[in-house]
Every structure is written in structure tokens, then in C-alpha cells.
Structure 1
Amino acid sequence: MIVSEIFRSLQGEGKNQGRPCTFIRLAGCNLRCAWCDTSYAWEGGKEMSVTEVLDRVWLINGKQICITGGEPLLQGEELLELLQKFNRHGYTVEIETNGTRDFRELQAFASICMDVKCPSSGERSDLRLLPFLTPRDCVKFVVADEDDFLYARAVMSRYEIRAEILISPVEGSDYRAIADYIVEENLPVRFQVQLHKILGIK
């Protein structure tokens, strides 16, 4: 596997926001989002075997795991092996993905947080994956402006989404305006600021 970093922190977003978590950030990404805050993981990284990753996580301690990137599903074969081993050892795993790769093979071993790319990102997710999400998964829309909101609302009305839906403002955008819009439109979502940005942690 090509690993950018492995570290312990608080989960800053998603369904497990605020929980202590061990992060495995895999290197490499097939998108170039305009507001990406981990562009250092687009390239580079260190080659590690699945066993080496497991050993590193075991030394760090903690049973809550988040596998993120980059785009972790680009390393699908080794990722599946890693998930199977985490499952056998009683770990709880969440995968953060940009929604451009089929994740169904992994859902038996991990929950999915699909980040649906809005217009401000300059990229697009594969919306055909949305119906495959389950109530244990979540969908995240990172929004910057009204165009992003209109897009998110259109996606929610067009697709059956059984997962929890999160709206997260881009850092530096008008948080209050975004919160007010959610209330005014009565959107079936949970508003969520990026906790790691507020605390100044990874």
C-alpha cells in the first residue's frame, strides 16, 4: 500500500465526529478538488505492506479507524485485505471516499462516508453510487455558495439516499448563512462544521 501518514487524532467530520480515531491516510487521488486540504496526499507516500500498517495501528492503540486519502479506493485490492484483517481483530472502520469508485465490496467490513462533490470543487462524484449506501453510512456535501446548495438539494430530491446526510461549509465561507439556508429550506440534513479546523488539529 502507498501510505501518506498514520496518526491518532479526533475525527473532525462525519458520523463519528468528535471521537478519538486512528487515521490511515493513503496516498494518491484521481481528483483535484479546488478546496482540498490534503493536497500533499495526491502524490508521494511510503510503500507499506498490509502487515506493516496493522502493526503500526496496533502500536498507536484504539479500535476506531478511519481510512482516508487521497482516494483510498484506488488501492482496492490491498484495502480489502486490510479491512478483512481489521474485521477479524475487532476494529471499527470508516472509509472516506470521493464517490468515484464502487465501494460495495467493502461495505461488509467498513462504513462509507461518501463526499459528493459540489460545483465549487470543480469535480464530480458518481451519483449512481448513492442508492448503494446504507443507514450505517453517510453522505457529505461540502458547500461554499448558493450554487452548491442548489446542487445538493437537487441530488437529494433525485436519488434515494438511506444514509445520513451532512452539510459541511467550506472553510472561510459564511457558516451562518449556510445554517440559515438549511433551516429555511427544511433540508433533511445535519449541519456540521469541520471540527479539526476549529481545533487546529489533523
Structure 2
Amino acid sequence: MTDRRYLVKEMFGPTLQGEGAHAGRAVVFLRFAACNLACPGCDTDFSPAGAQRMTAAEIVVRLVALDVGHTGRVVVTGGEPTLQWDAALAGAIRGAGFRAHMESNATRPLAAPVDWLTISPKPQHHPARVALADGLPADEVKVVVDDTVDEAALDRYAARWRCEHYFVQPWMDDRYAHHLARTLALIHARPRWRLSLQLHKIIGVP
């Protein structure tokens, strides 16, 4: 274990995973600060303001304290967690008995293993210099639907990332009803894709 300090925005739990294949499952969260994208309408505060510098050992101690129900699962998110995820932290978290579930925007390689990788691509919001990374071992793909997402986009994602679980989720902004209708239409056109909703927001948990 190294003395590297990771920029942690927040850690919380126990709570529920709100999205995707593990929606409704008890988890704890590790949210990193910083992201390499600036998606309009992003609902997550990942700014460095208020973040803490923590070692891998300190992170594990906090996760264990939070995991009062012994869920054994930590959702690693951001921001973009691949900016900081490395072998030392992966080894510390998994060595403490946690399964690491990560959500990534798929623009960077994965520097160390995780137990579940959710790919959530948003190429419509990439700067020109940012491309999707190759070789990511996706367990699920979750696409947030706005006006730029169509059937062809879903087909490209399904061809790029072969996995069991594909989800579409309406973008939550002031045009939510419009995005939901578009999402439902996409599901009917491409039935392998399933609906994901932000369960945690619906029931009012962190």
C-alpha cells in the first residue's frame, strides 16, 4: 500500500444503488473529485472544493465504518473514477472484502481491476481531443438519453461493448418528460435495452 493521497469528494452509506443492473442493492459509495468531461446538466458535484486527500488505508477504514450492514459492495464513482483508480487502492478495497463496482464514462483505460464495470458513454459531450477508450471489460452499458441518442448510437455501443446488460436512462433535466418518451421509444425499437431510472431520487435516499 502506497502513501498516495486520493482526492475524495464524499463517502456515504449504507444506501442503495439507484441505477442499472444492481438497482435496489445495498451499497456504500466512494465518490472521487474531478472529471475529464463537463457534461451540461450533470447532477453530481465532483468539484475539488470540499474534497479530502486520503490514503488508501484511510479510505478503507472509512468504508468499513460505513458498511454497517456488511453489504460488501462499494460503488466507485465521480467525477471520473479512472482518473485516480490504481492498483494500490484496488488492492486495499478488494483486500478488505469489498466488491468494487465502478461507473466510467469510458474515455480512459482501467488501470486496475474492478468487480463490476458500468460504461456510461457521453461522446456528445466530449471535447474533440477525447475519444472512447478501447478494451474496457464492460459488465453493463448505461446510456443517458437526450436528443443526440438514437437507435444507431445504441447499435454502436452494443457492438463496441459485448455484455449481458444494456440500459437506457432518461436525462434528468427540465425536459425530463421528453427524454423519458424518447427513452421508451428506443426500448421498443431496440428491445435488448432496458429502462433504468434513478431509484435513489425517486425514493429520496442519497
Report TM bin, short chain. Answer: 0.7 to 0.9
Q: TM-score, normalised by structure 2?
A: 0.82
**Gaps spanning 5+ residues in structure 1: where?**
none
Asked if 1:181 is matched to 2:186, the reply is yes
Runs of 4+ off more than 3 Å? 124-128
Alpha-carbon distance in 2 for matches of 1:60, 1:4: 15
Identity among equivalent positions (%) equals 28
Contact in 2 for aligned 1:118/1:152 (Cα 8 Å): no
Give the paired residue count.
190
Secondary structure of the corresponding residue to residue 184 of structure 2: helix
Please point out which of 175, 195, 198 is paired with 2:199: 195
Please point out which of 119, 140, 143 is paired with 2:142: 140
Alpha-carbon distance in 2 for matches of 1:117, 1:33: 8
Residue of structure 1 equivalent to 2:122? 117
Change (3 A) 1:128 1:27: closer
Asked if 1:102 is matched to 2:109, the reply is yes
Aligned-pair CA distance for 1:86: 2.2
Change (3 A) 1:181 1:75: closer
Aligned-pair CA distance for 1:29: 0.9
Contact in 1 for aligned 2:107/2:133 (Cα 8 Å): no
Residue of structure 1 equivalent to 2:22? 16
Q: Deviations over 1:2-59 (max 9, x none)?
A: 1000001111112211111100001111110112111x21323111111111111111
1:70-89 equivalences in 2 (<5 Å): 70-77=79-86, 80-89=87-96
Contact in 1 for aligned 2:123/2:131 (Cα 8 Å): no
1:11-50 equivalences in 2 (<5 Å): 11-38=17-44, 40-44=45-49, 45-50=51-56
Query: CA-atom RMSD, angstroms?
Result: 2.1
Q: TM-score, normalised by structure 1?
A: 0.84
- Counterpart residue identity of residue 86, structure 1: I
Aligned-pair CA distance for 1:111: 1.5
Contact in 1 for aligned 2:146/2:171 (Cα 8 Å): yes
Asked if 1:51 is matched to 2:34, the reply is no
Contact in 1 for aligned 2:60/2:96 (Cα 8 Å): no
Alpha-carbon distance in 1 for matches of 2:92, 2:158: 38
Aligned-pair CA distance for 1:163: 4.7
Alpha-carbon distance in 2 for matches of 1:110, 1:158: 22
Contact in 2 for aligned 1:28/1:71 (Cα 8 Å): yes
